[in-house]
Structure 1
Amino acid sequence: MLQSREGQKVPQVTFPIRVNGEWQKVNSDALFKDKTVVLFALPGAFTPTCSSTHLPRFNELAGVFKANGVDSVICLSVNDPFVMETWQEEQNAEGIYFLPDGNGEFSEGMGLLVDKSEIGLGKRSWRYSMLVKNGLIEKMFIEPEEPGDPFKVSDADTMLNYINPKAICPPRVTFFGKPGCQHCARARKMLKDKGYRFEEIELGSHGISYSSLQAVSGRGTTPQVYIDGQHIGGADELATWLAK
């Protein structure tokens, strides 16, 4: 049975890492001492839930965590430093510290190293998140011991709600655009000037066409912008919405 370690110190481990192409070592004190840290651990880089949901939302909220007193947001996985570095680049997760627990020592010390050999993954970390203050674990959200890969409590929003239930999250912006479109350029600039991060879906790539845009938005012109699931419209409608 997986046990919470709330009220205990984090395991003392030295991690081999890569910094600017060079091997270095970082220990637990360097990561946690005199700091407030949110760490979320997951089964593996590039795996479905980790790449599509778990990491992206922590990445979206990294700035909000730091605005609410968190010094560092750490993503830990039992992967080697090369894989973690490539995954960070692929996810554009510059606000997250990627920690490769390649030997599984930290995960084992947490009592959360599990055997996933039946699906060819070997020993991996169970999925969880925790709030650590000066090396002491204050709060843990550990996924239930269920078949498969449960993802119910270790998400970024649950952790942020524990830290500050009144924290203000940035809007989630989706932007359908096309290279060379002057209206798209205007909409991008407006969003950037307001400090909004956004996901851009580019027409003409990955099978996304004007037919796809028409099916999703009801319009066949670019850009089309969605904010927190609400269809705002094109550049003119976006300007009006931002001016409110």
Structure 2
Amino acid sequence: MLPSAESLEGKPVPQVAFKTRADDGWRDLSTDELFKGKTVVVFSLPGAYTPTCSSTHLPRYNELASVLRDNGVDDIVCFSVNDAFVMNEWKQGQDAGDITFVPDGNGDFARGMGMLVDKRDLGFGMRSWRYSMLVRDGVIEKMFIEPEREGDPFEVSDADTMLRHINPGARAPDPIVMFSKPGCPFCARAKAALTERGLRYTEISQDQKINTSVLRAVSGRMTWPQVFIGGHLVGGTDELLAHLEQANPAPAAA
């Protein structure tokens, strides 16, 4: 039986030494290094590369990382009972540079949280139950634990729920998708404009087998780039710059 959220709130996180890999070498990462003197959002999930974890849980925390930081969060940490090699490859594949991936390979942290569960029926062995928490200076302030039932429920540990808890008035940014072409100077200008305003975007490049016919089918246009914000076509570079200047003016030069 899993512990209740209320029974964990107000308690310190478990003291664990995590076996991480950096620069082709092993390094022990302590609980204190992750949490001491910081405000940290944690989300823990059953496994890297699994469907809900890869398609929804992790990507949304990655999308909202900058908003969470704007609202007082120092770091966003993803735990999974996987080894360091798997976690490093998953991070790279998900383009999740704003998330700290921590391998709980032996399940010590999950066990200390009371969240280690038996997934041998799926061939997973022992894994973490899905949950999220807000930790301040090593003490759990708020827990969101998925309901204990069969399968892999995903209802309360999502990034939007955490953001609403931290700041109910915070506004999540609209998702931005850019269809681009390698070597295109207009694409470079568009990407630079988004980057200087701190706006995350997903790039779909021509070298990913997206040709002009696909671009026209999606956007109705044949020139690169084409940018969508919040599911709506903004257009090419000049249209994007005008949109950004109206909605999010560039910072003044020093």
Shift of 1:127: 1.0
Residue in 1 aligned with 2:249? none
TM-score, normalised relative to structure 1? 0.91
Residue in 1 aligned with 2:50? 47
After superposition, the C-alpha distances for 1:172-200 in whole angstroms (9 at most, x for unaligned) are: 21001122333323322332333322111
- The CA distance in 2 between the partners of 1:233 and 1:142, in whole Å, is 41
- The CA distance in 2 between the partners of 1:194 and 1:15, in whole Å, is 35
Residue in 2 aligned with 1:58? 61
Unaligned 5+ segments in structure 2 are 247-254
Unaligned 5+ segments in structure 1 are none
* Letter of the structure 1 residue corresponding to residue 197 of structure 2: K
Residue in 1 aligned with 2:141? 138
Answer yes or no: is the 8 Å Cα contact 1:38–1:131 preserved in 2: yes
- The CA distance in 2 between the partners of 1:240 and 1:30, in whole Å, is 43
- The CA distance in 1 between the partners of 2:22 and 2:206, in whole Å, is 36
Q: Within the alignment, does 1:104 sit opposite 2:107 as a pair?
A: yes
Q: How many residues align?
A: 243
Residue in 2 aligned with 1:119? 122
* 1:1-244 mapped onto 2 (5 Å cutoff): 1-3=1-3, 4=5, 5-205=8-208, 207-244=209-246
- The CA distance in 2 between the partners of 1:204 and 1:81, in whole Å, is 30
Answer yes or no: is the 8 Å Cα contact 1:171–1:196 preserved in 2: no
Shift of 1:80: 0.6
Answer yes or no: is the 8 Å Cα contact 1:183–1:235 preserved in 2: yes
Q: What is the DSSP-based 3-state SS (H/G/I as helix, E as strand, rest coil) of the residue aligned with 1:139? A: strand
- The CA distance in 2 between the partners of 1:186 and 1:163, in whole Å, is 35
Shift of 1:169: 3.3
Give the stretch that moved more between structures: 115-124 or 192-201: 192-201
Q: What is the DSSP-based 3-state SS (H/G/I as helix, E as strand, rest coil) of the residue aligned with 2:56? A: helix
Identity %: 58
Give the stretch that moved more between structures: 71-80 or 85-94: 85-94
- The CA distance in 1 between the partners of 2:35 and 2:121, in whole Å, is 34
Answer yes or no: is the 8 Å Cα contact 1:130–1:137 preserved in 2: yes
* Letter of the structure 2 residue corresponding to residue 202 of structure 1: S
- The CA distance in 1 between the partners of 2:85 and 2:199, in whole Å, is 31
- The CA distance in 1 between the partners of 2:138 and 2:189, in whole Å, is 46
- The CA distance in 2 between the partners of 1:181 and 1:99, in whole Å, is 37
* Letter of the structure 2 residue corresponding to residue 214 of structure 1: R
Q: What is the DSSP-based 3-state SS (H/G/I as helix, E as strand, rest coil) of the residue aligned with 1:73? A: strand
Q: What is the DSSP-based 3-state SS (H/G/I as helix, E as strand, rest coil) of the residue aligned with 1:40? A: strand
Change (3 A) 1:21 1:204: closer
* Letter of the structure 1 residue corresponding to residue 211 of structure 2: S
- The CA distance in 2 between the partners of 1:70 and 1:191, in whole Å, is 22
